Amino acid sequence: MDTQIDLVIFGARGDLANRKLFPALFWLDHARLLADSVRIAAVARDDIDTSEFIKQTAKTLEPILANASSSEITWDRFSQRFDYIKIDFAEAKQYATLAEWRNPDRTMIYYLATPPTLFGSISQYLHRADCLNESSRIVLEKPIGHNQQSSTSVNDTVAQFFSERNIYRIDHYLGKETVQNLLALRFANRMINSQWDNTCIDHIQITAAETIGIEGRWGYYDQVGQLRDMVQNHLLQLLCMVAMEPPNSLQADEIRAEKVKILRALSPINSSNITEQAVRGQYSAGWIAGTPVVGYTEEEDCSNTTSDTETYVALKAFIDNWRWAGVPFYLRTGKRLKEKVTQVIITYKNHPHAIFPGHLDEANNRLVIRLQPNEGIQLEMVSKKQSLNDRLSLERRTLNLDFFDSTGDTRIPDAYERLFLEVIKGDQWLFVSREEIDASWKWCDDLIDAWEDKTVRTNAYPAGSSGPSRAEILIEKDQRSWYEN
């Protein structure tokens, strides 16, 4: 591992830094995976000093510190890594302080936990202040742009200052253990891989359901909606991991090349098929875990009570290649749904001839890959029901692979821990390439254009439900149903 690393976190006082980045770095330090020499510059515009920053960060991390063994020792070591640097990101001159902090002999990693509109200018000002060299890396949070054109412009600007091999575009889903486990499941198990195509698989479902709403982000979210917030990145990345061909090796370039092929093979959803293949919804008032919650347009910071921005999307997508021709991929994701669950369901075809009359429903094998909660894999199989009365009755049984149990650890590392480690190592395999961003926006742009023609209404669904009823129709008209736990 490269030990001569320094980290600079732009947006160090923001929600992402406090909720995800600092906890992840703390846990890495706790596991002794951060070299002692790593320094961290926390950059933000607030007028505080390093000791105040450390004090406030300790407060934010309190619940974590309370849970970690020997947390005082780690905290002492961890907090000494920090320097707080006050910079107004829009003021080129202020970057001089960072230039002074920088040690030119070490590899700098600039993590931009900032609005994407700042990616270009921050890169430029870093360059002007002489903070960059050949080895400097930049980490970009999603969303990169809001369509193909704007993402190209962001990528073009950043590319003036960083080479592609030094640009790390985050999709935090790729940092999740179970997503990486998809590679192991598919490519380390002959039995699974040999049944992974349109001759054996009936259809695939990918669900990312959340119980949370907009969480004080209304202004941002209303411009974005669930398609851009979740489908363009997380769901399409999951789809790629499920559908891509075996890469030649586990090298980043090989994996990313296979993912791009899938994104480019996605059959367009546009004005000609959007009403059959896409459903959009928006939550109205309802109940989550026994507590009443308001509807999307009644949220505290809502500034447009007639907004039709979608908080739910269901899609039926196809991949036009030999492996997947004819296999529907049903994707759904939404806010304020009845439970938080992210899972991939592979439903296998039945045998061409049934010799167990009356048992057609039981017969489909199903592979359930759960990303959260309770990370694990279940294989639903059919076996004989034990009974002397029945001659030969079937029942569905489940083989269970529970990741949490199998590690013996008390917690599964957060995605950001893994992603930080990979950036530090300089390995791009869990990051998104420019081509992937481009291809996924291209596919989403068609869909968004068709939506903007208003051909697809935004259907209301009560908070705490499983989404709009039209989403049920989308799949039921194919004689299938959404998998419910």
- Residues recognised as catalytic: 234
CA 392, CA 244: separation in Å to the nearest integer?
A: 39
Q: Cα–Cα distance between 396 and 400 in angstroms, integer?
A: 13
Choose between 210 and 422: whose C-beta lies nearer to ligand BG6.
Answer: 210
For ligand BG6, the closer of residues 29 and 229 by Cβ is: 229
Within 438-457, the residues that bind ligand BG6 by CB under 6 A are none
Minimum distance of ligand BG6 from residue 404's CB (angstroms): 16
Residue nearest to ligand BG6 (CB): 229
Binding mask 222-251 for ligand BG6 (x = CB under 6 A): -------x----------------------
Least CB distance from residue 224 to ligand BG6, whole Å? 8
The residue count for the chain: 485
Site string for ligand BG6, 199-218 (x = CB under 6 A): -----------x--------
Our finding on whether 362 is near ligand BG6 (CB under 6 A) is no
CA dist., res. 145 & res. 68, Å (int):
38
Is 342 an interacting residue with respect to ligand BG6 (CB under 6 A)?
Answer: yes
Which residue's CB is nearer to ligand BG6, number 228 or number 434? 228
CB of 208 to ligand BG6, least distance (A): 6
Please give the helix or strand (H or E) that residue 288 lies within, else none.
strand 286-288
Q: What angle do CA 81, 99, 157 make, to 5 degrees?
A: 105
* Least gap, CB of 191 to ligand BG6 (angstroms): 29
The size of the interface with ligand BG6 (CB under 6 A), counted in residues, is 3
Check binding of 417 to ligand BG6 (CB under 6 A): no
SS3 at position 241: helix
Judged by beta carbon, residue 362 or residue 414, the one nearer ligand BG6 is: 414
In Å, what is the CA distance from 292 to each residue of 38, 275, 297? 46, 32, 15
- What is the nearest approach in angstroms of ligand BG6 to the Cβ of residue 308? 18
Q: Which residues, in sequence order, are CB contacts of 81 under 8 Å at separation 6+?
A: 29, 34, 38, 39, 40
375 touching ligand BG6, by CB under 6 A = no
CA nearest to 311, candidates 453, 183, 214: 214
Whether residue 345 contacts residue 328, with contact meaning beta carbons closer than 8 Å, is answered with no
The residue (of 23 and 328) whose beta carbon lies closer to ligand BG6 is 23
Say whether residue 178 binds ligand BG6 (CB under 6 A): no
DSSP letters for 74-114: HHHHHHTTEEEEE--TT-GGGGHHHHHH--TTSEEEEEE-S
Instruction: Report the interface residues with ligand BG6, using CB under 6 A.
Output: 210, 229, 342
